[in-house]
Each structure stands twice: as structure tokens, then as C-alpha cells.
Amino acid sequence: MSQPDASSPDAASSGGPSIPSDDARRIELARAWAAQDPDPETRVELDEIVARVQAGDAAASADLADRFDQRLAFGTAGLRGEIAAGPNRMNRVLVSQAAAGLAAFLLERAPGTTPSVVIGYDGRRNSAVFARDSAEILAGAGVRAILLPRLLPTPVLAFAVRQLDVSAGIMVTASHNPPNDNGYKVYLGGPDHGSQIVSPSDSEIAAHIAGVAATALVPDLPRGEFETADESLVEAYVHATAQEAGYAPPVQPSVVYTAMHGVGWETTARVLTSAGFDTPALVEQQIQPDPAFPTVSFPNPEEPGAMDLAFARARQVGAELIVANDPDADRLAIAIPDAGAAEGYRRLTGNEVGLLLGWRAARRAADDSGDGASDGTLACSIVSSPGLEAIAKAYDLGFEATLTGFKWISRAPNLVFGFEEALGYLVNPGTVRDKDGISAAVAFLSLAADLHATGRTVANHLDEFVERFGCHDSGQISLRVTDLTRIGAIMSRLRAEPPSAVGGIAVDRIEDLSDGFGSLAPSDVLRIILEDGSRIMVRPSGTEPKLKIYLDVVSHEGSVAERRTAAAATLATLEAGMRDLTA
């Protein structure tokens, strides 16, 4: 594909102010981009920005530079960004190039065969059109393309990759990102067993995408006929997921459910019915897919205020449990009654839910063995609670701490359960090799029903966990920056001048993961181990301009209440200490 002459003067303007050469170059790039864009909305958007740049609008010039001076990177998380025109945004040109690049990767990976790809999409803006573009371009490249029958949760797509035994899967979703974002997650079949891509596949796909962008125009990419998956595929997911309950509970706690304006409810409802659960009380304002997410400022159950309507509905019906999925239903949030909370309910942390589900998985592994000897591996990311390792040791199970992301957790050998503190849980690795908020909901509801049958609550069970394994308490500091160099400066300072103590607690050792550590691939992470057994993880966020600090403490002494008090005090000390060190 021919590129515009960057040195040309403002051929775009007749009269008006003189246009700087950089702006002139970007205007030519914008016009070339618009010429191949099949979306009239983004074409108009670019025309308006170009007109403002020509009129001397400095904000428009900066906007054009942001869109065209770099490209939205394809990595192990695929693509994710704001829906808008230009190579540094999510749009039909970028998605078409990604589909053609993935096709080239798959054809190169298995020469002489016909690769296959299943494509799913959620209810976000443009998800359906991005999915259809992908299916048509993959088919046009000689790849068997299968589109899911309608908008569905991400776990159904992850299930389909294994169920259909395809070469790869694409899920068009931005999960719990802001409303105007969308994304493109890629899974691999075959030896990858339906897990998300990892290196070097990500860089190989990215290279093919770059090749397509440099040599072909989107209108010239051949398009072909794709298949539409049969409804039986969804039914198979429903059946497999319902099995996670084990049996229909005879008694159940009262439950409230919210889909957070996402696609989770229709599939979740079918799973709950199949598993023998009662229909929960619904947060009606959030139950249907709505890409505008009108009742929340940020469609993430972790965000303050996101579950306010669920709390209100729970108070209304006297619910004993709140279950929430994020918009693509791959995450799960749980809340329980708490008289000390302002709303009357408290959302459990991802670590609390993960440890309870991990304990359940360990007990089931022991029961399944028949002789009490467990087999399998519990896995979590390095920033998730070390309490999972304590469970693994107690039940003679293997344990693996991986880099962040289910692309790594799902690859743990002989996996029986995995979780990440950011509300992600993998409870059924035999069918889905990714976090799955629907199967996790079934598992947690089954646990809650078992407790309910003996007159106990989830809060009681959390106390039982502390009594057996100690109080594993966790906290997190997110330092948001406007200047990204500050993150690098803090990481460099911690490496060059490692602290001997944090908040007065002596440091035992610092493990730098930048060159890899044990079985872990290199990652920009510092792991600080303190002499009292506490742990601090420091890493830049992979998706936001933040430095993230994870704090984990444990207390084994005294009663349950005393352990909680001691752990909370240590956590507060470490938080104050790390804020001082990173100021």
C-alpha cells in the first residue's frame, strides 16, 4: 500500500492558516485511512478532525497526533481501546486488519490444512459488526469461520474453542472497561487447549497484522461465507456449567443477581435452572444488555457505586447473598449482609471469594480421590493471596503462582482451580480454560446452599477459614499518574535503593522478576518479602497509567477476632510505609 509523502506541504488546505508539516503528514494519513474505512461514522469523525486541524485548532492537532502517531498494540490481551477512527483506536479498519493478520498466522502455523476460528461477541457498541467483519475476512482468507448465534458471554466463547476443537477463538469484548471501549481477545486451540494467547504467539500475530496494514487496503481484503454455530453449542455450555453444582440444593439462601448491563443473565438463568437453583431476585435496571451502561459510572463491580442498585434490591427482599457479573460475565462479585457497612452489605474481595472457592475445590479433590489423598494443582497469580498455597499444602495439592492473567493461570499443570484477585475464577478447567463468572457463580451458590442447610452463613465460613488457615488479609494501592515516566522512576528507585524496612517492619529479601524468577517469565515486578511473613508486590499496570502495589499479610495468633485485628493493623502499617516510599 503506498504511503503519503510526509514532506508534502499542506495539499489539504486552500487558503487559511499555514499547516505545520507534522499536521500535514497526519492529514494525509487520516485521508488514506478514511478512504479504506467501511464505517461512515468514523469517516465523518476524521473529516471533522481534519477540518479543525486545518483551521488551526491545537486540541484537534493533538487528537490527530494521538490517533496516528502510534498504533493500538496487539499483545497477550489482544486489542482493547476506545471506539473511534485511526490506528490507535478500535474501529472496523483495525479489526479487519487484525482478522486478516490472525488468518495469516493460522495458515502459516499449519500449512496444508484449513484452520478454523470461532467468533463471539457481547453487547457493547460495535461488537456484532466487529465480529461479522472478522468472520467474513477469515473466511475470505481460507479459514473456516464460525460465528456464535447471538451476543453471548465470554465464557461461552472460551468453551466453544474446546468444544468445537477449533484452531482459535476471538471474543469481541472490552469486559468491564468504560462504555465507549471495545476489544478483541484471542484464544488458541490445539496444544494451547483453548487458553488465551501468550508469547511468542502474540508477537507473531502482531507481525502479521502489521504486514496486512502495510500492504493491503481493507476494501481489497477478500470476504467469504461463514457458518453460524448451532444453539446446541450454548446448550452444551449450560449443561457442563450446571454440573459444577454437583446436585440440586434442597434449601437455598435468598439471592439477588445483577448483570451490570451486560450479557450474563440469559445464559446464567438457563444454567441456574438446569442446576436446580431458584430464580434470584433481579436488579431489573441492569439485567438487559445496554452498551451505554446508564446506571453506573464504570461497569465494574469493583468500582465504588457500581453495586449500589444491587444493595438496594437486596435490602428490599432481605437477601442473604448478592451475585454480580461484569458485562461479559467472565468475572464474579459476591456481597453478603454486614450490619457495619453503610449499605447493609459488603462486597467480598476477590481474594476472599477465591480462597473460599479454592477451599471448596480442595475438599472436592480430596473427596474425589476416595482415600483422602488429593491430586491436582491450585493456581493463582503472583499478586493474589498466598492463602491459596496454605490450602494446597493442607490438602496435599500442588500449587503454582503465575504471572498476572488467566492466560498463565489456565496453563498450570493438572489444574483443578485457579483465581486472580481481580474477581476472576476458573472452577471448571475441563471445559473452560479462562475465568468464568457463570460457573464461579454456580460454585459459590452451591457452597452457600451447603452452608445454609447447616444453619451457617458465608460470614461464618470466612471465620472458619481464618480459624483453620490464619487470617490472610490483603490490600492494594493504585498510584495513578499523568506522567508515565514517574512509574519508571519509582521502579528504578526501588531497585537502586531497596528499602531495608517498610513501615518499620524489616525486609527479609527483595525478588526482582524483571529477568524472570524460577518458572516465571521476565516481568516488571518487585516482590518484597518481610521478616514477619508479609508480602508486597509492586508492578506497573498493564492497561492503565497506574503503579499497582499489592499488600498481603497473615496472622495465626489468638482468636479469630484477634487475628483479624492484628492483620488489619499490619496492613495499615504497610500501606503507610509504601505510600512514603513511593511519594
Report, as residue numbers or ranges, the catalytic residues: 175
Q: Where are the alpha helices (DSSP H) in 403-505?
A: 406-409, 437-453, 458-469, 485-496
Residue whose cell numbers read 497526533: 65
In Å, how far are 3, 106, 308, 406 from 195, measured between CA atoms? 37, 16, 34, 8
The contacts of residue 33 (CB under 8 Å, 6+ apart) are: 46, 68, 85, 86, 87, 93
The DSSP call for residue 244 is G
Phi, psi (degrees; rounded to nearest 5) at 558: 85, -165
β-strand partners of 517 = 520
Nearest to 334 by CA among 315, 354, 316, 318: 354
Q: At what angle do helices 264-275 and 231-242 cross, to 10 degrees?
A: 50
Give CA torsion, residues 366, 370, 371, 377, to 10 deg.
Answer: -30
Residue type, 492: S
Phi, psi (degrees; rounded to nearest 5) at 546: -140, 150
β-strand partners of 400 = 379
Q: Say how far residue 86 (Cα) sits from the centre of its chain.
A: 24
Q: Say how far residue 1 (Cα) sits from the centre of its chain.
A: 35
Rounded to whole angstroms, how far apart are CA atoms 124 and 179?
Answer: 7
Rounded to whole angstroms, how far apart are CA atoms 486 and 300?
Answer: 27
